């Protein structure tokens, strides 16, 4: 018996290194597979996102852009200017207000449209309406924005139609106003809210609402307790897809806004294209990115709570 035990112990001792070797080989293969599957995505992320951001961060702490033989030095002046000069934070507040206004308008218009599409419109009518919703994506944004100039001027289509119905109608010149900027941006970003809400509403099982109604719940209660909470992921996705680009928009405010067009996005665009002050433009861009991240961080606990309950 003692010889058998000794032989078994020897076999285990000899097998242990080979087992560790096999385990290491399995771990190495797993790591190699992970690198092979995700390496390409990380390289694309590095080239398309991280490297441009690193370059912009580098420019934002320079006195001048090191182009054409100019000597640059490191400074934080562009960041401190934002907090010491009212011009910048006043326009940042205007951009945030515009972002909230456009996002809220898109939600008010887009959510009912998505609800109708998901729950009440069927078959080919739904396909036709979805095609009409995505139709603006097939045209250039610059063309869409300039087309609004022919609609919102005093001699535009809206004013002429109103005068045809009411000859003594007052002037309806909306061009170069805050309302014109909101109209142009809502037209550009409304499809994002409709499509994201439609996907969430389409995924809700109709049997939940039927069960609630069978227990005596009213239509409003079904909407408040079931439909709206379960569709919050789509609403949140739409809010992010609209709010973030709107606060940095500059094309629609510049074409439709006139004197109302001074936003943080237009200031950044001016620094890169007109003033050639790339460091200041880069610093303002990073400040805008920080504002967006702070707002998302503040809203995250509330959204997480409601989405968990749903």
235-269 per-position pLDDT tens digit: 988 998 999 899 988 888 888 887 767 888 888 88
pLDDT > 90 in the chain, percent: 26
**In the structure, what pLDDT confidence band is assigned to residue 22 with cuts at 50, 70 and 90?**
low
Give the pLDDT confidence of 120-147 residue by residue, as tens digits: 888 888 888 888 888 878 888 888 888 8
Instruction: Calculate mean pLDDT across residues 200-221.
Output: 90
Greater confidence, 29 or 238?
238
Give the pLDDT confidence of 84-121 residue by residue, as tens digits: 888 888 889 999 999 999 999 999 999 999 999 998 88
The predicted pLDDT at position 2 comes to: 47
Question: Taking phi first (over 0 means left), then psi (-120 to 50 degrees means alpha), and beta for anything else, what does residue 70 get?
Answer: beta
The predicted pLDDT at position 19 comes to: 55
Residue 14 pLDDT > 70, yes or no? Answer: no
**What is the average pLDDT score of the chain?**
84
Q: Which of 5-14, 26-35, 220-229, 267-276 has the lowest mean pLDDT?
A: 5-14
Residue 4 pLDDT > 90, yes or no? Answer: no
Q: Which of 2-11, 183-192, 268-277 has the lowest mean pLDDT?
A: 2-11
**In the structure, what pLDDT confidence band is assigned to residue 1 with cuts at 50, 70 and 90?**
very low
Q: Is the pTM of this model over 0.85?
A: no
Residue 177 pLDDT > 60, yes or no? Answer: yes
């Amino acid at each position: 018996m003692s010889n058998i035990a000794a032989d078994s112990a020897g076999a285990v001792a000899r097998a242990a290194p080979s087992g560790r070797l096999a385990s290491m080989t399995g771990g190495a293969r797993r790591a190699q597979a992970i690198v092979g599957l995700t390496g390409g995505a990380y390289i694309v992320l590095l080239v398309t996102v991280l490297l441009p951001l690193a370059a912009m961060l580098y420019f934002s702490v320079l006195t001048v852009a090191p182009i054409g033989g100019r000597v640059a030095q490191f400074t934080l002046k562009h960041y401190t200017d934002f907090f010491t000069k009212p011009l910048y934070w006043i326009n940042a507040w205007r951009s945030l207000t515009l972002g909230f206004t456009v996002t809220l308008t898109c939600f008010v218009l887009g959510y009912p449209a998505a609800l109708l599409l998901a729950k009440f419109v069927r078959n080919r009518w739904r396909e036709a309406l979805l095609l009409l919703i995505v139709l603006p994506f097939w045209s250039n944004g610059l063309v869409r924005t300039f087309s609004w100039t022919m609609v919102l001027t005093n001699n535009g289509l809206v004013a002429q139609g109103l005068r045809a119905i009411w000859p003594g109608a007052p002037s309806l010149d909306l061009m170069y106003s805050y309302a014109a900027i909101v109209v142009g941006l809502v037209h550009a970003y409304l499809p994002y809210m409709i499509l994201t809400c439609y996907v969430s509403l389409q995924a809700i099982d109709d049997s939940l609402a039927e069960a609630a109604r069978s227990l005596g719940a009213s239509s409003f209660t079904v909407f408040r307790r079931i439909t709206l909470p379960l569709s919050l992921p789509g609403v949140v996705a739409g809010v992010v897809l609209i709010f973030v680009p709107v606060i940095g928009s500059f094309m629609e405010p510049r074409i439709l806004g006139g004197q109302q067009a001074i936003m943080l996005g237009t200031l950044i665009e001016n620094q890169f294209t007109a003033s050639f002050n790339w460091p200041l433009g880069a610093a303002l861009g990073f400040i805008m990115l920080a504002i967006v991240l702070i707002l998302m961080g503040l809203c995250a606990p509330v959204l997480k709570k409601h989405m968990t309950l749903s």
